[in-house]
Amino acid sequence: MTDNVQSIDRSYGLGSVTEQRNKVLRNTYWLLALSLIPTVLGAWLGVATGMTRSLGGGLGMIVFLGGAFGFMYAIEKTKNSAMGVPVLLGFTFFMGLMLSRMIAMVLGFKNGPDLIMTAFGGTAGVFFVMASLSSVIKRDLSGMGKWLFVGAIALMIGGIINIFVGSSAGMMAISVLAIGIFSAYMLFDLKQIVDGGETNYISATLALYLDIINVFQSLLALLGIFGGERD
């Protein structure tokens, strides 16, 4: 009788844990979809007004890093409060503004809209593949985190250097590496949610959003370099 009671308790406990993980994953997907709306609005505003056109070189880097790290700090501080979602959406609007400069450059190509849609479709495809893999891979991937972090730091340093060097070859190499690293990060972050390693859906959304925006931006850069058609 005691064994039966313990078995029921364990089953109930496992069910509760699974339900909690599914809830975090579900909320993360909803908030991630919602976060794309301010991103699109920010990108549209930046392209329409040209307000980010002058943010090139060192100035652009300072504005981007200052704004991004400021927002991420604020998100971390508010993730357990009612302000968490608005702060996150404010960050995604800011990221849309920062992305608008590249989008405006790509729209300068004759096939610019097609390149943007291709980059969007490619990013969605990567996300679908990684989401599918995260649900079937049973192996613990937490050990990937430190290597991916090192790779992301190396990419950031390389990107900062290339801002001042202005090398097209360097940009291509950085973009290719970024697609690989942030696609792997996408799998890692999704697996963290599936395995219960991440229990806050705002933090989970922020991590996945950064993965997605980096893959999209890198794909768009490569498509602009290789597929841009001048009038």
Read off the pLDDT of residues 16-69 as tens digits, 9 standing for 90 and up. Answer: 777 888 888 899 999 999 999 999 999 999 999 988 877 776 777 788 889 999
Q: What is the pLDDT of residue 1?
A: 52
- The CA distance from 191 to 206, in Å, is 15
pLDDT given at position 12:
45
**Residues in contact with 64: Cβ distance below 8 Å, sequence separation at least 6, in sequence order:** 55, 98
In degrees and rounded to multiples of 5, residue 56 shows phi and psi of -110, 165
- Statement: the pTM of the whole predicted model exceeds 0.85: yes
> Are the beta carbons of 39 and 94 closer than 8 angstroms?
no
Residue 72 lies in domain: 2-227
Structural domains of the chain, count: 1
pLDDT of residue 11: 46
Q: Please say if the pLDDT value at position 139 is more than 70.
A: yes
179 token code pair: 């697609």
